[in-house]
């Protein structure tokens, strides 16, 4: 019994210490944003690598997510509600949940793992120590550009995913359930409210981008034990980011809806 209490105590203290480290990293990251103009090359590189190059993957995910949402929505409504409700139900589901959450989870796997593994490699090979020796701040040059890039690009990618998923769902309804594309968008437009349908999605995307960027960088900076540490950092970056994404999704949903 005593050993169990000791183990729980150590785990709790470790969790509190990790949360404290993350908040310290948040403060340092915000402090170095003021050098955005001077470090614009670093920011542009990360915006392209973490955002622009992810568009094909996000588009593929959005197509099939929209197709599934359209098929399931039309199938469930076929014998219960008039077709005019199809656009309302499917579109709201895509905008509020499927678009931001699926996009964030995909980018947590693609970008989060990449950031974690990249920074972990630099950590275990002492490249970060070399930067500090040369008076180059690793937070300013490695962490802040990646976090800012995720915060900027994730909402934009969510918008792209939402648009693609909506059109895919409308096409599925038109092809297989005789619900025209015009009826789909007229139905959605009749109940569309920007502050209730789009703004919460953008808020979620911002929180997801911050979470992925910060967690992945923090995991990379804590990496140890050579190659195995790099692999562990890549796994932890995705697992921790995905967990925080779902927690943030719940928190934002309860605050907004």
pTM above 0.95, yes or no: no
Phi, psi of 31 (to 5 degrees): -60, -35
Nearest-CA neighbor of 113 among 102, 125, 101, 121?
A: 121
In angstroms, the Cα distances linking 31 to 24, 25, 34, 37 are: 11, 10, 7, 14
Nearest alpha carbon to residue 103 among 205, 196, 199, 202: 205
Q: Which of 244, 245, 219 is nearest to 230 (CA)?
A: 219
Q: Which of 55, 240, 35 is nearest to 143 (CA)?
A: 35
Q: What is the model's pLDDT at position 226?
A: 76
Per-residue pLDDT of the chain (257 residues; tens, 9 = 90+): 667 788 888 888 888 888 898 899 999 999 999 988 898 899 999 999 999 999 999 999 999 999 998 888 877 777 777 777 787 888 888 888 888 999 999 999 999 999 999 999 999 888 998 988 898 899 999 999 999 999 999 999 999 999 999 999 989 888 888 888 888 888 777 667 776 778 888 889 999 999 999 999 999 999 887 788 888 999 999 999 999 999 999 988 888 76
Mean pLDDT (the chain, rounded): 88
Longest CA pairwise span in the chain (Å) = 70
Residue entry with tokens 């002492």:
126
- Indicate the SS3 state at residue 110: helix
Give the closest residue to 96 by CA, choosing from 226, 200, 242, 227: 200
Q: What is the pLDDT of residues 40-53, one digit of tens each?
A: 899 999 999 999 99
> pLDDT at position 257, please?
67
Residue 158 to residue 198: CA distance in whole angstroms: 10
């Amino acid at each position: 019994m005593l050993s169990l209490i000791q183990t729980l105590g150590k785990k709790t203290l470790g969790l509190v210490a990790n949360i404290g480290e993350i908040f310290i990293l948040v403060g340092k990251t915000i402090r170095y944003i003021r050098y955005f103009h001077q470090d614009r090359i670093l920011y542009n590189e990360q915006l392209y690598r973490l955002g622009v190059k992810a568009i094909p993957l996000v588009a593929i995910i959005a197509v099939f997510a929209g197709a599934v949402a359209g098929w399931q929505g039309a199938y469930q409504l076929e014998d219960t509600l008039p077709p005019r409700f199809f656009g309302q139900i499917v579109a709201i589901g895509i905008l509020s949940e499927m678009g931001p959450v699926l996009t964030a989870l995909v980018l947590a796997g693609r970008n989060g793992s990449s950031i974690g593994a990249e920074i972990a490699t630099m950590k275990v090979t002492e490249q970060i120590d070399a930067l500090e020796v040369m008076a180059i701040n690793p937070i300013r040059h490695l962490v802040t550009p990646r976090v800012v890039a995720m915060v900027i690009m994730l909402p934009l990618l969510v918008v792209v995913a939402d648009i693609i998923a909506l059109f895919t769902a409308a096409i599925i309804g038109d092809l297989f359930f005789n619900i025209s594309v015009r009826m789909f968008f007229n139905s959605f437009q009749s109940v569309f409210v920007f502050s209730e349908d789009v703004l919460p999605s953008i808020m979620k995307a911002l929180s997801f981008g911050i979470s992925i960027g910060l967690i992945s960088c923090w995991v990379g900076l804590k990496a140890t034990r050579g190659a195995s540490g790099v692999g562990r950092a890549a796994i932890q970056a995705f697992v921790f980011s995905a967990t925080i994404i779902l927690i943030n999704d719940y928190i934002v949903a309860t605050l907004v809806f």
